[in-house]
Structure 1
Amino acid sequence: MPQKTKETPMMQQYLDMKKENPDAFLLYRVGDFYEMFYDDAIKGSQILELTLTSRNKKADEDIPMCGVPHRAIQGYIDTLVDKGYKVAICDQLEDPKLAEGMVKRGITRIVTPGTIMDESANTATENNYITAINRDKNRFGLAYADLSTGEVKVTSVDNFMDLTNELQNLNTKETVVAEDFPQKFLDPIKKIGILVSTIDSLDENFAFDYSHVTEELQVDTVKTLISYLVDTQMRSLDHLKAAETYKTTAYLSMDHTAQSNLELFKNLRTNKKSGTLLWLLDETKTAMGGRLLKQWLARPLLNQTELEKRQHIVQVFLDNYFQRSSFQDYLTKVYDLERLAGRVAYGTVNGRDLIQLKTSLEQVPKIKEILLDIGDYDLDAYIEQIDDVSDVRKLIEEAIVDEPPISTTGGGLIKEGYNEQLDKYTDASKNGKKWIAELRAQEQEVTGISNLKIGYNKVFGYYIEVTKSNIDKVPEGRYQRKQTLTNAERYITPELKEKETLILEAEDKSQALEHQLFAEVRKAVKEQIRRLQSLANVLSQLDVLQSFAVISETYHYVAPKFVDGHDLKVVNGRHPVVEKVLSNNSYIPNNVTFDNETDILLITGPNMSGKSTYMRQMALTVIMAQMGCFVPAESATMPIFDHIFTRIGAADDLISGDSTFMVEMREANDALKNATKNSLIIFDEIGRGTATYDGMALAQAIIEYIDKNVQAMTMFSTHYHELTELESQLPGVKNVHVDASEENGTLVFLHKVLPGPADKSYGIHVAKLAGLPDEVLSRADTILSGLEDTAPKGIKVEDAKPVVESEVKPQPQPQPQPQADVETVNEPEPDSQLSLFPELDAKPKAKLNKGEKKVVDELQNQDLMSVTPIDAINLLYKWQKELK
């Protein structure tokens, strides 16, 4: 950006505004276009695919520029914002015709990724959350809002990992911080694709309801958010609801990775909604219901009483099919009340929006009647909350025409009979135009000019037009020549000018009065925003619950029974999404059973047999149950879970630079450290990202740790068949396998989960199904046979007892005999600890080779007090390799 030297007044004005908004594209209104200059023009032309031109400032210097028509501006704004940029809109604040000197301009709005209001049909069921974060020592405050609906919520978390997880779960595109927020926290947030905006001061004057927020950190965080919205939007934000506090621990906790692995919102393969749990559950009829469904899916409940209330309403809808069908019909005609209320407050509502609001409110009495007809006590609690807002409906009915134009300034909005003065203007305009039509017929008859026309333009007003071939018929002295065209002459008469004045005055005053009346209607509606938002809230809840009823009826789901303790029994459970995709009743159901004696289901079976599907279906069943929905099973009894942990799939974390195995270990660590007895852990093939023995050792150590220390319900699939021995060694482990059979050398997947371990993994059979060459398959068989003959049979639990700090006592170091080239290891005393290296015990007095000496030295120098069980097993494996 060049320095401001000898700029034209307009460019000086542009540069001043750009200086105030250096981090935004500045769209500067000039006539019928919004222009960009300098660097904005260069970059904007590339992003928006516009032609880059230049504006001559001086003969020897050009200013890069590009522009877009003002009528098409929204599409260009959306493109820039979708790509993560801010856009500052600079409008003309006065009529250029009336301006003295330079036209006054000003920033009227700053559009950012978190504040975009104009949603498309594709995003109607999506929330667009903008967040703010704050910090107090080791705690973080997080507030979020959806500007289009007015929702505002705030929480606090105890660590940065929980903060970033919540940001990702909210799918926020922008977060706001104070200028002094530590940069070390912002860099990771930027890496996950979130725009970070800063604010230098808080707005203490904006009237906002903080009454439900008591914690100082949370209050400051909400103030940061609201101050940013006031600063960027520059208009009424009366639709913002009172801030609500929430605790992440009040809901079934699932981190962003778990939500992704379980494909709750996006299909891992296509990144789309199709093939997800949301896709299955969404039979909602309104946009606001669709948004609430996503919120319930992201935050299943822990409160059993609330869950059973939801279940009951679902059952009520199931039991009343005909009333439910009528309810759905009326609900389909209800538009997005939340966002309509937002546009009313925002000042962007138009006549068509108000007609949508009226149409929606017309359905409410019918909806209420249907619900009353069902006659259920719990449903009555919803009915009591339904306010039909009839005063708003009547006002719109009386004031706004049934098919209004989009523009609110061009007239044609207000119904005849609503305002007496407007009716007079309308009558004058209509009668004037009727008079002109009659004048045309009269002049055609008097002059004999059959093609005589009476037209209008903004420069000359009304005129009589006669073609050149008929000029000789124009009566002398009656017409006054006004304009000569190539093929015609235009004239005026005193009578025509007089009538023109009356007509134009009536039209101008009519449009101004209509706009004023529309603003009054909008203001009256705005005063009822809280009632409209309350109505939207109850209708959206009922919409989600009827959606649960529809899918429960369609797919024969059952109401789960919640119990205390550690018992879980799902009879003939199914994976809801896979079952829907198959759509031919070919899905094979399976049981899942845990009890007080069983913590871990150790699942074996060949690849492609359905182990992952079996585990995922259990997780999805839990989520559906704790949303209040019925579940895909013949019957289901389960506790209420507090957390779902998943370790599924193989993927690098390119942002942090972690390998697949490191990601696997981080996710496993998260579960081991944070799971409780009330958690569900899904571990799919732990240990496969490293060497075979490393992986097996880690897998066994993790199973032992869960059994001893965590005791969460765990579904653990593995190809390490050696681990199936743990059932006989650990009280909480139970083997199950996904059945498959081999018929004439061909593998047949049965997809049935049965007790006990699988007899083998059938990996080579799966490779055969994939079409690998016969030579490869034959050689693999030979190699496998050799490996199976020599492979170790695993480590017994009692031989790999975890090192517990309180149990470890300092051991005397072995004292070598003073010999020149020979080192020996003392014989173990009776009842001493089992030897780690029986190979050395077999030749205690022999001379050690270089590798053996290295192992002994490392063992002697090892600080046993600081070794974890997993580290100990890894060291053991490393030393064993070196000795071999």
Structure 2
Amino acid sequence: MNAAPPKITPMLQQYLEIKEQYPDTILFYRMGDFYEMFFDDALTAAKILGITLTSRSAKDEANKIPMCGVPFHAVTGYLGRMIKAGYRVALCEQVEDPKQAKGIVRREVVRVVSPGVTTDDQLLDAKSDCYVCAASFSRKSAKEMLAGLAVVDVSTGRFQVSEVIFAPSDPAPLIDEFTRLRPAELILPQSELEEWTGLTDLLAAHLGQLCLTGRPDMHFDSRAALSALTEHFHTTSLAGFGCAAYTAAVNAAGALLLYLKETQKSELSHIKQLSPLNQGGFLIIDDASRRNLELTETLVGGQREGSLLFAIDRTATPMGARLLRRWLLFPLQEREQIEARLASVQELLQRPDARAAIRDLLDSIYDLERLCSRLVLGHGNARDMGAIKTSLAQLPAIHVWLAECTSPLLRAMAAEFDSLTDLHQLIDAAIRDDAPISLREGLLIKEGYHDELDRLLVLLRDGKQLILALETSERERSGLAKLKVGYNKVFGYYFEVSRSQAEALPDYFIRKQTLVNAERFITPELKELENSIATAQERRLELEYELFLQVRSQLVEHNQRLLAVADLLARIDVLACFAELAYRHRYCRPEINANRSLSIAEGRHPVIERSLEPGRFVPNDVHLDQERDEILIITGPNMAGKSTVLRQTALIVLMAHLGSFVPAESADICLIDRIFTRVGAMDDLRRGQSTFMVEMNETANILNNATENSLVILDEIGRGTSTYDGLAIAWAVVEELAQKDGIGIKTLFATHYHELTDLAATNARVQNYSIAVKEWNNTIIFLHKLIKGATNRSYGIQVASLAGVPEHVITRAYEILKNIEIGEFNLQGQPTIAAGKKSKKNAPRQLSLFTPPTHPALALLAAINPDELSPKQALELIYQALACLKASDP
């Protein structure tokens, strides 16, 4: 006999109905002081959160309903763990007073939290934007696809669109855009989730954890999307935002806006405009180059510490830190804008009093962007308002310092500065400094802000004194000196007099009880006061909550002013950060030229320099132009510093385009449109690519997309394959870089192929450089200095010795190297030393790592047909072969 199914109570029935509306989320269902989860949600949540899995009672084990729960006051931490695991969570709250509910208390989902849609500080990285992205795809031609992208950071209200053309067989341009933005969540049309599985898998490989969310196809319809956007922005079109031409991106933006409104249950009034994420006007750095240069995270481990961003981030506010990251990913390419930033940095550098004062004031400012967004979305509490008040208190002083600046950019900031004095006064007058996080526990509103609240506070604080004051008043009015107030649980407060005096009381005294020797009375005024005292606490909590919502609503009305000030403070913060960097680390102001030349004197690596003791880093000079020093072939041993010179050159150029001072004695930088790098050798197993394939993909990207205004950094091209194949590829790549479009591309090329140095003899724009070393007692000392001229040695064995390779292995390596260099090979193509004293008669033959060069005499013989030779020709051939043998005799 089958067991009966578990009984579904009204509460569980309500849970299942709500869950059906949010099938792709984990439903946190509020029950009293806990959020409960049931069925499969409970199984998933218990495992991720590490909490106890229980069950609701049932008659048999098979039909027990899995259940788990978390305390509502600690929900943020649990939400964070669910979000980091890639899940979306629907928060379901009680939206009805249990005292007034008829039957089950009504509940509704008040918001959905996902990896890309959250405003809680504990779930966000203060120094990085948190983007949710929507994508819409259409075919542009037989070989090209058009991707429309829309991204928004709900915590700040920044909403942008972009379009990318790519080939289905090569989605690299699209991957570059995604890896630059690094969205935490990607929204796609439901019908396309399976169609684009290959792309989403590739994105997951690049981005790590990526939350995919499917949405109804009709939300991506052009009419529905445009309608949603124009209705939200209260416009008739998107032309005023410069987005009308972004058809595919607008479709994605509309779908994204609908998703946000559905999940946040809010009008999103802090999202006031849609702006194009234009690629024009920015120096472009593709995904491979960002990784190779370790701009935002290290190549190994993906850590922020050790990256360029970590090294240059001296910002004082979270808004400034996020803006610095955006500037780093989107460097300027317009000379006027760069010069404006540099002038501002120079002024702040030359005015240490202003710089120090501004940075101290900024240090007291909280994350105004995200605080403002929390208010708009209805999540902001009194603590958030306190943080806003503290921040706004710093604005007048910042404005005073800014008004004294003379550089154009800082002067323009001073002109648009809004001190928000009215908002500061509002919060200061209304919100208590010691207000709790909860909005339902009172202690939110200051005394003196609202007359009715003040009266309630007096009742709660002075209730007994008010009762005694009424007693005194009635004594005087009645003339009965022994009239007194009493209290019991049956009648509450009452007046009591002796029976003999009862007849002397005024008519408004109402008899309630007769005792042996006394009479008890009440009056309308006494009962009204008693009721006021009894209900004061409840009314006070309701009124404080109402007043708080009114204050929050007033602040929300000015959210655009708050966001504008937050943006302005972020810009001031980054410029002051650049000035502080220049002061602390002796950075110089770069000159920005228009003559396509790049000269750096005493340049230093901004990250590596910081990891060494002061004075230990060896600076280097680099000059590139497109006349005589277009391609620098740099040779030298491993560990000598070739890669450091390459990377620091690219980083100095990049920092100059940010508008930052740079680590050098002087720098004259031309405007660069793209920076390309091919650095290091590493398998990319997640993407199914070998070391050599990674090298060739990155090299192909450079050769196909670099222009005369680009900077190319190449480190060890071709070493992922055989020696001669690698050398041939490297040679051909250098030739192409020197000849492309008739003018070539500025390039730094580090290599161990010393044969490449011969290119300088055939091409006037190729120059040889090397990293200097000093030989001493059969070892080497690294000088880390870039010098003119090539080297014909890699010192690999000496480096192996420095690394601790056993001495007998080093000695053996020298013997083999000697014989390889003098061409002593046996008939099997092995160095003759391989058959020496260390070989055993029956030992297996070691395959040569190198293809031996053909002996000139053998080459001569292989080229003739003996049957066709005359006697005289045969004799001449013998003499030629003898000459070859003598020439090769060591």
| Bin for the TM-score computed over the shorter chain | 0.7 to 0.9
Write the distance in 2 (CA, Å) between the matches of 1:278 and 1:525: 34
SS in 1 for 2:151: strand
> What residue number does 1:554 align with?
584
Matches of residues 322-341 of structure 1 in structure 2 within 5 Å? 322-341=353-372
> What residue number does 2:518 align with?
none
Is the counterpart of residue 242 in structure 1 residue 266 in structure 2? no
> What residue number does 1:871 align with?
none
Matches of residues 507-522 of structure 1 in structure 2 within 5 Å? 507-522=537-552
Amino acid in the other structure paired with 1:639: C
The counterpart of 2:756, out of the listed 713, 723, 727, is 723
Write the distance in 2 (CA, Å) between the matches of 1:512 and 1:293: 44
Is the counterpart of residue 385 in structure 1 residue 416 in structure 2? yes
Distance 1:589 1:379, change over 3 A: same
Deviation at 1:240, TM superposition (A): 1.2
Write the distance in 1 (CA, Å) between the matches of 2:660 and 2:28: 48
Write the distance in 2 (CA, Å) between the matches of 1:731 and 1:462: 106
Matches of residues 653-664 of structure 1 in structure 2 within 5 Å? 653-664=684-695
CA RMSD of aligned residues (A): 3.1
Write the distance in 2 (CA, Å) between the matches of 1:133 and 1:666: 26
Write the distance in 2 (CA, Å) between the matches of 1:130 and 1:840: 71
Is the counterpart of residue 536 in structure 1 residue 536 in structure 2? no
Distance 1:36 1:321, change over 3 A: same
Q: Is the 8 A contact 2:590 2:667 kept in 1?
A: yes
1:225-250 C-alpha deviation (Å, 9 max, x unpaired): 11111121112311113011122243
> What residue number does 1:14 align with?
15
SS in 2 for 1:384: helix
Instruction: Please identify, of 425-434 and 545-554, the stretch whose mean Cα deviation from structure 2 is larger.
Output: 425-434
Write the distance in 1 (CA, Å) between the matches of 2:487 and 2:347: 66
> What residue number does 1:35 align with?
36
1:352-371 C-alpha deviation (Å, 9 max, x unpaired): 21122122222111111112
Is the counterpart of residue 197 in structure 1 residue 213 in structure 2? yes
Instruction: Please identify, of 563-572 and 183-192, the stretch whose mean Cα deviation from structure 2 is larger.
Output: 183-192
> What residue number does 1:46 align with?
47
Matches of residues 99-114 of structure 1 in structure 2 within 5 Å? 99-114=101-116
SS in 2 for 1:225: helix
> What residue number does 1:150 align with?
157
Write the distance in 1 (CA, Å) between the matches of 2:284 and 2:228: 37
Is the counterpart of residue 71 in structure 1 residue 73 in structure 2? yes
Matches of residues 286-685 of structure 1 in structure 2 within 5 Å? 286-432=317-463, 501-595=531-625, 596-685=627-716
Deviation at 1:275, TM superposition (A): 2.1
Write the distance in 2 (CA, Å) between the matches of 1:567 and 1:166: 29
1:48-87 C-alpha deviation (Å, 9 max, x unpaired): 1111111124445111111111111111111010111111
Deviation at 1:387, TM superposition (A): 0.8
Deviation at 1:739, TM superposition (A): 0.5
Q: Is the 8 A contact 1:561 1:637 kept in 2?
A: yes
SS in 2 for 1:208: helix
> What residue number does 1:789 align with?
822
Write the distance in 1 (CA, Å) between the matches of 2:716 and 2:775: 23
Deviation at 1:500, TM superposition (A): 6.5
SS in 2 for 1:35: strand
Q: When the two structures are superposed, what TM-score results if normalisation uses the length of structure 2?
A: 0.81
Deviation at 1:320, TM superposition (A): 1.1
Write the distance in 1 (CA, Å) between the matches of 2:738 and 2:608: 31
Q: When the two structures are superposed, what TM-score results if normalisation uses the length of structure 1?
A: 0.82
Distance 1:436 1:676, change over 3 A: farther
Distance 1:433 1:582, change over 3 A: farther
Amino acid in the other structure paired with 1:18: K
SS in 2 for 1:678: coil
SS in 1 for 2:232: coil
Runs of 5+ consecutive residues of structure 2 not aligned to the other structure:
140-144, 471-485, 494-511, 516-520, 826-857, 869-890
Is the counterpart of residue 762 in structure 1 residue 776 in structure 2? no
Instruction: Please identify, of 498-507 and 277-286, the stretch whose mean Cα deviation from structure 2 is larger.
Output: 498-507
SS in 1 for 2:633: strand
SS in 1 for 2:284: coil
Deviation at 1:272, TM superposition (A): 2.5
1:451-478 C-alpha deviation (Å, 9 max, x unpaired): xxx999xx99999xxxxxxxxxxxxx99
Instruction: Please identify, of 429-438 and 17-26, the stretch whose mean Cα deviation from structure 2 is larger.
Output: 429-438
Distance 1:15 1:643, change over 3 A: same
Write the distance in 2 (CA, Å) between the matches of 1:355 and 1:79: 28
Write the distance in 1 (CA, Å) between the matches of 2:797 and 2:25: 58
Amino acid in the other structure paired with 1:188: L
Amino acid in the other structure paired with 1:174: E
> What residue number does 1:135 align with?
137
1:148-191 C-alpha deviation (Å, 9 max, x unpaired): 01111111111132122211121211111222334253343344
Amino acid in the other structure paired with 2:214: T
Deviation at 1:772, TM superposition (A): 0.7
Deviation at 1:498, TM superposition (A): 9.0
Is the counterpart of residue 742 in structure 1 residue 748 in structure 2? no
Matches of residues 687-836 of structure 1 in structure 2 within 5 Å? 687-709=718-740, 711-790=744-823
Write the distance in 1 (CA, Å) between the matches of 2:538 and 2:577: 51
Is the counterpart of residue 843 in structure 1 residue 843 in structure 2? no
SS in 2 for 1:167: helix
Write the distance in 2 (CA, Å) between the matches of 1:37 and 1:400: 39
**Identity between Structure 1 and Structure 2 (%):** 40
Amino acid in the other structure paired with 1:178: P
1:296-346 C-alpha deviation (Å, 9 max, x unpaired): 011111111100000000011011111221112222122211111101101
1:554-612 C-alpha deviation (Å, 9 max, x unpaired): 11111111222331111111111111221411111111011222321111000000000
Distance 1:120 1:29, change over 3 A: closer
Q: Is the 8 A contact 1:176 1:197 kept in 2?
A: yes
Distance 1:23 1:841, change over 3 A: same
SS in 1 for 2:112: strand
Instruction: Please identify, of 178-187 and 127-136, the stretch whose mean Cα deviation from structure 2 is larger.
Output: 178-187
SS in 2 for 1:750: strand
Distance 1:675 1:375, change over 3 A: closer
Deviation at 1:756, TM superposition (A): 0.9
SS in 2 for 1:15: helix
> What residue number does 2:476 align with?
none
1:728-749 C-alpha deviation (Å, 9 max, x unpaired): 1223211100011110112100
Deviation at 1:5, TM superposition (A): 8.4
Write the distance in 2 (CA, Å) between the matches of 1:791 and 1:102: 94
Write the distance in 2 (CA, Å) between the matches of 1:434 and 1:752: 87
Write the distance in 2 (CA, Å) between the matches of 1:688 and 1:462: 94
Deviation at 1:669, TM superposition (A): 0.8
Write the distance in 1 (CA, Å) between the matches of 2:92 and 2:530: 36
1:406-459 C-alpha deviation (Å, 9 max, x unpaired): 2222221112221111111111111126579999xxxxxxxxxxxxxx999xx9
Q: Is the 8 A contact 1:236 1:347 kept in 2?
A: no
Write the distance in 2 (CA, Å) between the matches of 1:124 and 1:422: 37
Amino acid in the other structure paired with 1:132: A
Q: Is the 8 A contact 1:90 1:105 kept in 2?
A: yes
Deviation at 1:96, TM superposition (A): 2.4
> What residue number does 1:467 align with?
none
Write the distance in 2 (CA, Å) between the matches of 1:253 and 1:845: 62
Runs of 5+ consecutive residues of structure 1 not aligned to the other structure:
440-453, 464-476, 481-492, 793-836, 848-884
Write the distance in 2 (CA, Å) between the matches of 1:32 and 1:93: 14
> What residue number does 2:232 align with?
208
Amino acid in the other structure paired with 2:232: F
Q: Is the 8 A contact 1:251 1:301 kept in 2?
A: yes
> What residue number does 1:177 align with?
188
SS in 2 for 1:158: strand
Amino acid in the other structure paired with 2:773: A
SS in 2 for 1:418: coil
